[in-house]
Amino acid sequence: MPKQKTKVVKKKIVKIKTDKTKSRAESSAPSAGGKKAYSLLRGMHDILPKEEKYWKSAYHTAENLAEHFQFGRLETPILEEAGLFVRSIGKGTDVVDKEMYIFEDRDSNKVALRPEDTASVVRAYIMHGMWNMVQPVKMWYWGPMFRYDRPQAGRFRQFNQVGFEILGDADPVQDAELILIAHNFYKDLGLPVEIYINSIGVPEERQKYKTALVEYYRSKRSYLCDDCKQRLNKNPLRLLDCKQERCQPVKEEAPQIISWLEEESKNHFMKVLEYLDELAVPYVLKPTLVRGLDYYTRTVFEVYPVMGETEDATLGSQTALGGGGRYDLLVEEMGGKPAPAVGFSLGIERSVTAVKQYFDTKQLKFPVQQVDAFMAQLGDQARRRALKTMNELRASGLKIAYNFSKGSLKGQLEMANSLQVPYALILGQKEVQDGTIIIRDMESGVQEIVDQKKLENLLKKKLSRFDGERK
Ligand code: AMP
């Protein structure tokens, strides 16, 4: 029995602990024979079968939400014209300046592996004339993104995002609907989260704010880290993103954008917050939240896990599970008819890590789809029959586990036990000849011999006593 933690669990937003991405070690996998064994490129990672339950759950959760809120699935290519991302995300941003996987193809076209999907969503909206459809157009995506970043905890060069976008409507209710979906995604996965929210206004408001911000930061230049000294000239809003200890006091006293917002932006923001209050979605007003990409207007938000403080919660800097915001001007900027829009994306790797960590620290079992029965067999003939029987049961919607490489019945039943299946089906030489099969109740150990032809109905009948309890 695991020892219960007696420590008082404080509610606190913590940085999630992630497997440290190895630096160069990936390229030196142990070789089993004399030949070189290949490994991964730096910053890349495999998603192993043991992770599957979390990934599957995340995908199904997103898919269910999409269905419920009526978002259509959009799949865009991983490779696009590089200019698409440069123009939408903006020069001067980290993603474009430092992190794009950009190269020339065989025809000397400049192409890029997508660093995010919003630009492609906008391209697709324009290209397929979606402004002619009933507005707003609601779309969702799931897939790999690429950023040539310095790999570290929670930061990969290939990672996956799920995103939801609403195009063609400026109403604050759309911002709130999206934030609700992001919140529900984690709620359904069993992870408590908090939304950080801010408004960064429209470009004119932001320009005035930037001027005030630069003026303030110039007066504090000598206290700043080297990165911030550069940001001051290149991308002043990013000053507010700085995580360096020495810059925090300066950041805390910095002017806040909310004071530069005009009536319309202020009203929009207030309405979003009112909707969130109504929906009981918890949020934290975060005046320093600006997001890293150029195209945002007005509402911006990020999602953070809320965990109990535990001894092993390590502090890293990569904690946002995802984020998003309004981008009212992007469609026009990308060559389309003006169409206000709002969207978000969530990182799946970080979300899975956070979910795992949360369930571990709370000593909770992550719900998995359960197996209905385990097929055990003894001997060659029985194995052949077992394969056929399993296939028939699978076609009728039942989930059957097995392990043909285990010869002994004892070994197979041990495995059935560890999978916590309610029933084992046992086929030996005798049963094959008689056309029968043994059904063993794994809890009581009671076995009954039944006609193979009646197996499917009988098993379903037995399983029906769990209706509602098993997934
Ligand atoms: P962004 O588009 O930068 O706002 O990213 C949205 C989310 O995607 C982040 O909160 C992360 O969860 C995830 N993400 C972004 N970059 C990376 C990366 N390099 N590695 C892993 N996840 C990432």
My answer on whether 357 and 384 are in the same domain is no
Ligand 1 pocket test, candidate residues 45, 99, 156, most atoms within 8 A of CB? 156
Q: Which helix (H) or strand (E) holds 401?
A: strand 400-402
Q: Is 156 in the pocket of ligand 1 (CB under 6 A)?
A: yes
Domain co-membership, 45 together with 72: yes
CB of 117 shorter than 6 A to ligand 1: no
Mutate to test the pocket of ligand 1, among 191, 303, 346, 352 (most ligand atoms within 8 A of CB): 346
Asked if 116 and 12 sit in the same domain, the reply is yes
Strands 72-73 and 101-104: unpaired
Query: From the alpha carbon of 99, which atom of ligand 1 is closest?
Result: 19
pLDDT by residue (tens digit) across 239-270? 998 888 999 999 999 999 999 999 999 999 99
Whether 198 is in the pocket of ligand 1, judged by its Cβ within 6 Å, is: no
Atom in ligand 1 nearest the alpha carbon of residue 116? 2
- Do 10 and 114 reside in the same domain of the chain? yes
CATH code: domain of residue 381: 3.40.50.800
Q: What is the pLDDT of residues 64-121, one digit of tens each?
A: 999 999 999 999 999 999 999 999 988 878 888 889 999 999 999 999 999 999 999 9
Distance CA 121, CA 423 (A): 48
| CA 154 to ligand 1 center in whole angstroms | 8
Site of tokens 């919140």: 183
pLDDT band at 5 (very low <50, low <70, confident <90, very high): very low
Domain boundary among the residues 326, 361, 396 is at 361
415 or 310, which is more confident: 415
Residue 378 sits in which domain range? Answer: 373-463
Q: Is any atom of ligand 1 closer than 6 Å to the C-beta of 182?
A: no
What is the spatial distance between Cα 288 and Cα 238, in angstroms, rounded to a whole number?
Answer: 9
Decide which of 361, 381, 415 is a domain's last residue.
Answer: 361
Q: Give me the pLDDT at residue 30, please.
A: 59
Dist CA 346 CA 354 (whole Å): 12
Q: For residue 322, report the distance from its CA to the centre of ligand 1, in Å.
A: 6
Q: Indicate if 349 and 420 belong to the same structural domain.
A: no
Tell me, what's the pLDDT at 104?
Answer: 97
For residue 215, is it within any domain?
no
Residue 397 domain flag = yes
The rounded distance, in Å, linking the Cα atoms of 39 and 393 is: 39
Task: Return the pLDDT at 258.
Answer: 92
Q: For residue 329, what pLDDT is reported?
A: 95
| 312 and 380 part of one domain | no
Residue 324 CB–ligand 1 contact under 6 Å: no
* Confidence band, pLDDT 50/70/90 cuts, at residue 32: low
Are 355 and 377 in a shared domain? Answer: no
Is 421 strand, coil or helix?
A: coil
Atom of ligand 1 lying closest to residue 302 CA: 10
The helix/strand count (H/E) of the chain reads as: 15, 17
Q: Are residues 449 and 331 in the same domain?
A: no
Backbone dihedral region for residue 379 (phi beyond 0: left; psi -120 to 50: alpha; all else: beta): left
Indicate the range of 87-96, 273-282, 339-348 predicted with least confidence: 87-96
- Asked whether residue 233 carries a pLDDT value surpassing 50, the answer given is yes
Identify the pLDDT of residue 131.
94
User: What is the average pLDDT score of the chain?
Assistant: 89
Q: What is the pLDDT of residue 308?
A: 60
Place of tokens 């586990």: 401
Within a domain: residue 351? Answer: yes
> What residue's CA is closest to ligand 1, atom 16?
155
Q: Is the CB of 428 under 6 A from ligand 1?
A: no
Pick the atom of ligand 1 nearest to 161's CA. Answer: 8
Q: Tell whether ligand 1 has an atom less than 6 A from the beta carbon of residue 322.
A: yes
Alpha helices in 419-469 (DSSP H): 429-434, 455-463
Single residue among 306, 330, 361 that ends a domain in this structure: 361
**Contact residues for 433 (Cβ-Cβ < 8 A; gap 6+):** none
Ligand 1 in contact with 113 (CB < 6 A)? no
Is the pLDDT at 160 greater than 90? The verdict is yes
Which of 187-201, 225-239, 327-341, 444-458 has the lowest average pLDDT? 225-239
The 10s digit of each residue's pLDDT in 127-142 is 999 999 999 999 999 9
Percent of residues, the chain, with pLDDT higher than 70: 90
pLDDT of residue 314: 38
Distances (CA, A) of 239 to 254, 290, 337: 10, 9, 33
What end-to-end distance do the CA atoms of the chain give, in Å? 25
Residue 166 has pLDDT above 50, yes or no: yes
Reported pTM: 0.84
Is residue 357 very low, low, confident or very high in pLDDT (cuts 50, 70, 90)? very high
Check whether 17 has a pLDDT greater than 80: no
- Which pLDDT score is estimated for 278? 94
For the Cβ of 159 lying below 6 angstroms from any atom of ligand 1, the answer is: yes
Q: Would you list the DSSP string of 179-218?
A: HHHHHHHHHHHT--EEEEEEE---HHHHHHHHHHHHHHHH
Within a domain: 227: no
Decide if pLDDT at 20 tops 70: no
User: Does the beta carbon of 345 lie inside 6 Å of ligand 1?
Assistant: yes
Phi, psi of 100 (to 5 degrees): -75, 135
For position 404, what pLDDT does the model report? 86
Tell me whether residue 222 is in a domain: no
Q: Is 218 among the domain residues?
A: no
387-397 residue pLDDT tens:
999 989 999 99
* CA torsion through residues 274, 167, 348, 62, sign: positive
Give residue 159's pLDDT band: very low, low, confident or very high (50, 70, 90).
very high
Res 469: pLDDT: 57
Q: Output the pLDDT for position 38.
A: 94
Instruction: For residues 399-408, give the mean pLDDT.
Output: 88
Residues 78 and 112 in one domain: yes
Q: Which atom of ligand 1 is nearest to the CA of 155?
A: 20
Q: Taking residues 334-361, what's their average pLDDT?
A: 96
Q: How far apart are CA 401 and CA 386, in angstroms?
A: 11
- By the 8 A CB rule, do 39 and 27 touch? yes
What separation in Å is there between the alpha carbon of 16 and the centre of ligand 1?
Answer: 13
Question: What CATH number is given to the structural domain containing 286?
Answer: 3.30.930.10
CB 226 within 8 A of CB 329: no
Has residue 419 been placed in a domain? yes
Average pLDDT over residues 36-58: 95
% of the chain beyond a pLDDT of 90: 75
Q: Are residues 350 and 405 in the same domain?
A: no
> Hey, is 91 helix, strand or coil?
coil
Q: Indicate whether 450 and 405 sit together in one domain.
A: yes
pLDDT score of 391: 87
Tally of domains within the chain: 2
Within-domain flag for 225: no
Quick one: 303 and 377 in the same domain?
Answer: no
